[in-house]
């Protein structure tokens, strides 16, 4: 079995001012001992770097070095695998986006969902309810 996490979980873990910070840290620390394969999409990691360092989003954004250090720590987990687009990705993206109109802010979510589908990952931990639109995903909020 495998699973993934959305960028919001990573952001909560890095934002000490977030009320979900401690829970997100605890959740991510538990991943080190989880027997399932932790798969994370490169677009999720890049979104983390973009958002966590953005001064208009966070009062105290991470420095680029600190944000990259967080990504490196995550990548060092023993059962972590990164996901990127493989052969035939565009067809899978087209399949994922054919079910309902995908535009604007839903495009990055569809990108991640298509990557998860391409790699056979069905479980996604996130607080973003938009992912529930992709019926092949088992979406779980780790804070509920």
- Bridge partners, 123 (sequence order): 3, 138
Q: Which of 131, 114, 91 is nearest to 7 (CA)?
A: 131
Tell me the mean pLDDT in the region 7-12: 97
- What is 2-137's CATH number, 3.40.50.300, 1.10.10.60, 3.40.190.10, 3.40.50.1010? 3.40.50.1010
Q: What is the pLDDT of residues 46-105, one digit of tens each?
A: 999 999 999 998 888 999 999 999 999 999 998 999 999 999 999 999 999 998 999 999
Q: At what angle do helices 89-97 and 106-118 cross, to 10 degrees?
A: 120
Which residues contact residue 9 at a Cβ distance below 8 angstroms, ignoring those fewer than 6 apart?
24, 27, 28, 125, 126, 127, 142
Distance CA 125, CA 137 (A): 10
Residue 36 φ then ψ, to 5°:
-80, 160
Q: What is the pLDDT of residues 83-99, one digit of tens each?
A: 999 999 999 999 999 98
Hey, where are the domains in the chain? 2-137
């Amino acid at each position: 079995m495998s699973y993934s996490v959305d960028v919001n979980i990573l952001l909560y873990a890095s934002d000490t001012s977030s009320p979900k910070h401690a829970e997100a840290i605890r959740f991510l620390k538990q991943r080190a001992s989880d027997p399932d394969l932790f798969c994370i999409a490169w677009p999720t990691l890049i979104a983390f770097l973009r958002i966590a360092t953005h001064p208009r989003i966070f009062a105290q954004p991470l420095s680029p070095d600190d944000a990259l250090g967080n990504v490196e720590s995550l990548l060092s987990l023993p059962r972590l695998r990164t996901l990127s687009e493989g052969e035939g990705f565009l067809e899978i993206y087209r399949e994922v986006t054919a079910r309902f109109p995908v535009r604007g802010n839903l495009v990055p979510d569809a990108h991640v969902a298509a990557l998860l589908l391409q790699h056979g990952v069905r479980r996604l931990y996130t607080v973003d309810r938009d992912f529930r639109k992709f019926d092949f995903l088992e979406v779980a909020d780790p804070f509920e």
